[in-house]
Structure 1
Amino acid sequence: MTTTTWLIILLVLSVVANIALTARLSVLRRRPLPLPLSPTTTVRDSPQTLHALESTRLELEQARQAADHATGLMQGRDLELGRVRGLLTEAQAQASEAAAAAEEALALRKERDELLTRLREREEEVRRRSRERDDTQTQALARIHELERRLADAEAHAEGPLGPEPVSPAIPRQLPLGRDTTADSSVDGADLGPVVVRAASARGDRARHDGEHRRDSVLLRFAEEIPTPTLLSAVAAGSPRGRWSQSAADRACRSLAAQVGRYGEGLGRELYRPDGDDGALGALLRTALQGVAHSMRLVTRGEGPGGEADDAAIEVALTGLLTRLGDDREREHLAFGVGDGALLRLRDGAWSAVFTPGESAPDRTLRLPADAARVGWARLTTLPGDVLAVCSPPMAELLLREDVGSWFAARWAGRQPYLTSFLSEVNAPVRSTGGDRSVVCLWDFGDAREARSATP
Structure 2
Amino acid sequence: MTFDWVPPQIGPPGPESPARAPQTQPYRSDTVIDGWATAGFEVRAASVRGPGHRASGVPRQDDFALATAAGSVIAVVADGVSNAPLSHLGATMVCRTVVDYLLRADTDAAVDWPDLLRCAGWALVEYADRQLGEPDPQRAEALLASTVVVALVRPDDAGRAVAQLVRVGDSAAWRLRDGTWEPLFAALSDPQDELLPDGVAALPRVPAEVHPVQVTIAEGDVLVLATDGFAEPLGHGTGDLGRLFGDGLATPPPMTRLAWMLDFAGGASDDDRTVLAVWPVPPGRP
Into which bin does the TM-score normalised by the smaller protein fall?
Answer: 0.7 to 0.9
Q: Deviations over 1:419-444 (max 9, x none)?
A: 11111111122434311101101123
Alignment partner of 1:391 is 2:226: yes
**Cα pair distance change 1:181/1:297, threshold 3 Å:** farther
1-structure distance, mates of 2:137, 2:43? 42
Matched ranges for 1:47-196 at <5 A: 161=11, 173-179=19-25, 181-196=27-42
**Cα pair distance change 1:320/1:160, threshold 3 Å:** closer
**Cα pair distance change 1:307/1:346, threshold 3 Å:** closer
- Percent identical among aligned pairs is 25
Alignment partner of 1:446 is 2:282: yes
1-structure distance, mates of 2:157, 2:218? 11
**Cα pair distance change 1:333/1:251, threshold 3 Å:** same
2-structure distance, mates of 1:159, 1:295? 39
2-structure distance, mates of 1:307, 1:247? 16
Alignment partner of 1:235 is 2:71: no
RMSD after superposition? 2.9
Partner in structure 2 of residue 416 of structure 1: 252
**Cα pair distance change 1:370/1:196, threshold 3 Å:** same
**Cα pair distance change 1:243/1:309, threshold 3 Å:** same
Structure number having the greater strand percentage: 2
**Cα pair distance change 1:412/1:334, threshold 3 Å:** same
Matched ranges for 1:353-372 at <5 A: 353-355=183-185, 359-360=188-189, 362=191, 365-371=200-206
Partner in structure 1 of residue 94 of structure 2: 252
Letter in 2 for 1:423: A
Conservation of the 8 A alpha-carbon contact between 2:90 and 2:144 = yes
1-structure distance, mates of 2:9, 2:58? 29
Conservation of the 8 A alpha-carbon contact between 2:184 and 2:213 = no
Conservation of the 8 A alpha-carbon contact between 2:151 and 2:166 = yes
Larger radius of gyration: 1
Partner in structure 2 of residue 426 of structure 1: 262
Partner in structure 2 of residue 437 of structure 1: 273
Letter in 2 for 1:285: W
2-structure distance, mates of 1:382, 1:427? 27
Conservation of the 8 A alpha-carbon contact between 2:128 and 2:135 = no
Conservation of the 8 A alpha-carbon contact between 1:315 and 1:369 = yes
Count of residue correspondences? 269
Q: Deviations over 1:55-97 (max 9, x none)?
A: xxxxxxxxxxxxxxxxxxxxxxxxxxxxxxxxxxxxxxxxxxx
Partner in structure 2 of residue 269 of structure 1: 109
Alignment partner of 1:341 is 2:181: no
Alignment TM-score, normalising by the size of structure 1 = 0.54
**Cα pair distance change 1:368/1:305, threshold 3 Å:** closer
Letter in 1 for 2:147: A
Conservation of the 8 A alpha-carbon contact between 2:168 and 2:203 = yes
Q: Larger relative CO (CA 8 A, sep 6+): 1 or 2?
A: 2
Moved more, 374-383 or 384-393: 374-383
Task: Give the counterpart of 2:243 among 406, 426, 433.
Answer: 406
Conservation of the 8 A alpha-carbon contact between 2:84 and 2:145 = yes
Task: Show structure 1 runs of 5+ residues with no match.
Answer: 1-154, 165-169, 271-280
Q: Deviations over 1:203-227 (max 9, x none)?
A: 111111111111111100113xxxx
Partner in structure 1 of residue 124 of structure 2: 296
Alignment partner of 1:199 is 2:45: yes
